[in-house]
Chain A
Amino acid sequence: MTDATPVPQGLPMERQCPFSPPRGLVELRDQRPVSRMTYPDGHEGWLVTGHAQAREVLANPRFSSRGDLARAPIPTGPMAEGTRRFIPRGALTRMDPPEHTRYRRLLTGEFTVRRMRLLEPMIQGIVDHQLDLMAGGDQPADLVADFALPVPSLVICALLGVPTTDRPLFERETRTLFSLDTPVEDRNDALRSLGAYLGRLVADKRANPEDDLLSDLVAGGQLDDEELATMGMVLLVAGHETTANMLAHGVFALLRHPDQLALLRSDPALLPNAVEELLRYLSVIHVGPIRTALDDIELNGQLIRAGDSVTVSVPAANWDPTRFPEPDRLDITRRSTSHLAFGHGIHQCLGQQLARVEMRIGFGSLLGRFPGLRLAVEPDAVPLRSDMGIYGVHQLPVAW
């Protein structure tokens, strides 16, 4: 290979701007959309940064999602190797068919476009309540703590049937799980604590069923308590942290692109399209998905050997100029639905239609309530989540 860009040693993570993908990823994509990458454990695997190639990997079931095969593309500490091989029953994101299919089909009926639309009044109520609290509080407010985190957290609590008084527990453990700096022992403690919590909740739902998703799954009788607790944990963790970061980082992006913000304010019908474009532009899933080749597979003229790890970069793929011209331009009128922010293939995000409704109502109502919304600090002072498994901002001080 004669390209100027060397084989990366682990996933390039260093950003030059709060919004654009790391330069190391962009340069690599423009030269080699499928590149060798040296994994932190010394494995010579692959990094996929092109949109078409990323789609191809994620659509091909011979690129396995099995967690026991996956290698981390960023350093995870010496003990991680032993713990990652254990995949609890019900951990559907880290499985292949047919196990994955069985678990997923028990959930997909609960997350349809129609079912999520029925949740709109409940979500609107939560959003309005948070906005009331914010409006009555001091300025500047932290949009993360006061709005972006509580909204999806309260929504997933209502949907699953999790008492909102337990939010401090699962939000804290989720933060520990997603911090890239968390020592492995602390990570395992957080997993154990969440697992025990969900176990208690499942037992409670079995004794006192209510009108919620977790009770429905218990009553369905197709899952044992271990599977129920694991699936409940996956839904709870995936359901709040991702959307929370989209909401806060999305507001940061809009405030830094006043022309787009003005356009959105002048024409709220653009909102669904703006949500798709923000999903593309921000690509908060910035580490993985990770796959492992089960066979020798040719990709983009290269031979991926059975056993090789393949890391897909969502930010790089979503900024691929061959798919999205001028990818660095936030353009809320652009048709962005082919973004890979929710993944692609059989593991594509189960909760994506819920996330869309939350973002539509969240962005729309926030902008409607605060016509003068503005950053309360210099843009450079906004702390970025480069140290977290899901990208975004740690805090977003705003005034109005």
Chain B
Amino acid sequence: MSPVRVAVDRERCCAAGMCALVAPATFSQDDEDGRVVVLEDRPPEGERASVAEAAAICPCGVISLLE
């Protein structure tokens, strides 16, 4: 099943930018502190695999994929 909704824990985010790099339509970074900003909590169909990759490689494990 593809994930349908993205949730993040901004408090624990370490702003490495991997999510914004691999899934740029879904994630961005705050200009001030670099922490994750969710652009689209229901990722576009074409980016779902990248969103799953972003969740898997996030260095601080702050991205959750909810059904």
A104-B14, A337-B18, A352-B17 given as contacts; is B29 within 8 A of A114 (CB)? yes
Judged by a CB distance under 8 angstroms, whether A108 is at the interface is yes
By beta carbon, the residue of chain A nearest B12 is A346
Distance between Cα atoms of A115 and B33 in the complex (Å): 12
- Residue interface mask A38-81, B partner, CB < 8 A = 1: 00000000000000000000110000000000000000000000
- Residue interface mask A111-127, B partner, CB < 8 A = 1: 11111000000000000
Residues of A within 8 A of B28 (CB): 114
By beta carbon, the residue of chain B nearest A344 is B59
Judged by a CB distance under 8 angstroms, whether B20 is at the interface is yes
Residues of A within 8 A of B24 (CB): 113
Contact of B57 among A337, A347, A356 (CB under 8 A): A337
Interface size on B, as a range, is 20 to 34
Judged by a CB distance under 8 angstroms, whether B67 is at the interface is no
Distance between Cα atoms of A114 and B39 in the complex (Å): 14
Interface-central residue, B20, B30, B59, B60, by most chain A CB under 10 Å: B59
Say yes or no: A337 contacts B22, CB within 8 Å: yes
Residues of A within 8 A of B7 (CB): none
Q: Nearest chain B CB to A346's CB is how many angstroms away? A: 5
A109-B33, A111-B34, A114-B31 given as contacts; is B18 within 8 A of A349 (CB)? no
Contact of B34 among A112, A335, A344 (CB under 8 A): A112
Residues of A within 8 A of B60 (CB): 59, 345-346, 348
Judged by a CB distance under 8 angstroms, whether B21 is at the interface is yes
Chain A to chain B: the 8 pairs with minimum beta-carbon distance, closest first: A108-B34, A108-B15, A348-B59, A112-B29, A113-B20, A348-B16, A113-B17, A346-B14
